[in-house]
């Protein structure tokens, strides 16, 4: 049997993340993509440090945003972020492997809502995020 439309979208997203300059800069790795779901991994290193030599909030936000981008665009249609609200709970330690898991919570024809959680290797919640995207009628341009 041939490859499903969904699997073609997922494979295209996997390839895009591998060549995405910002993902490379931060060391973001796509672990899993499904319909309305993405899991992204990032090893926290000194390149992610802020002025206190702790993890920069922007690095954690970028990890969540990457998961949001992949989960929302897994529909195969262009989805654009409308709102992202982040709460930071715990600072990661140097060497922690952080994962961001984005899950579709609800959607209509045009709007989708996601919950994104970042956890460290021990499973502790590092940050949580609610995000909303607007779905356009256009397919992803790289399909």
For the stretch 73-123, pLDDT in tens is 999 999 999 999 999 999 999 999 999 999 999 999 999 999 999 999 999
The residue whose two tokens read 């390149």 is: 47
Q: How crowded is the C-beta side of 85, counted as CA atoms within 13 Å?
A: 5
The second-level CATH assignment, the architecture, of 5-139 is: Roll (3.10)
For the stretch 16-63, pLDDT in tens is 999 999 999 999 999 999 999 999 999 999 999 999 999 999 999 999
Question: What pLDDT, on a 0 to 100 scale, did the predictor assign at position 3?
Answer: 64
Domain ranges of the chain: 5-139
- Reported confidence tier of residue 4, pLDDT bands at 50, 70, 90: confident
Alpha helices in 2-91 (DSSP H): 5-19, 21-26, 57-73
């Amino acid at each position: 049997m041939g490859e499903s439309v969904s699997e073609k979208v997922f494979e295209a997203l996997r390839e895009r993340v591998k060549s995405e300059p910002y993902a490379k800069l931060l060391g973001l790795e796509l672990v899993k993509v499904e319909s309305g779901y993405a899991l992204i991994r990032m090893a926290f290193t000194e390149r992610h440090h802020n002025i206190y030599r702790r993890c920069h909030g922007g690095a954690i936000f970028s990890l969540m945003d990457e998961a949001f981008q992949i989960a929302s665009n897994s529909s195969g249609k262009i989805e654009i972020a409308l709102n992202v609200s982040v709460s930071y709970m715990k600072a990661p330690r140097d060497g922690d492997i952080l994962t961001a898991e984005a899950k579709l919570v609800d959607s209509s024809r045009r709007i989708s809502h996601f919950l994104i959680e970042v956890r460290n290797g021990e499973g502790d919640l590092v940050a949580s995020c609610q995000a909303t995207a607007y779905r356009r009628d256009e397919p992803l341009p790289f399909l």
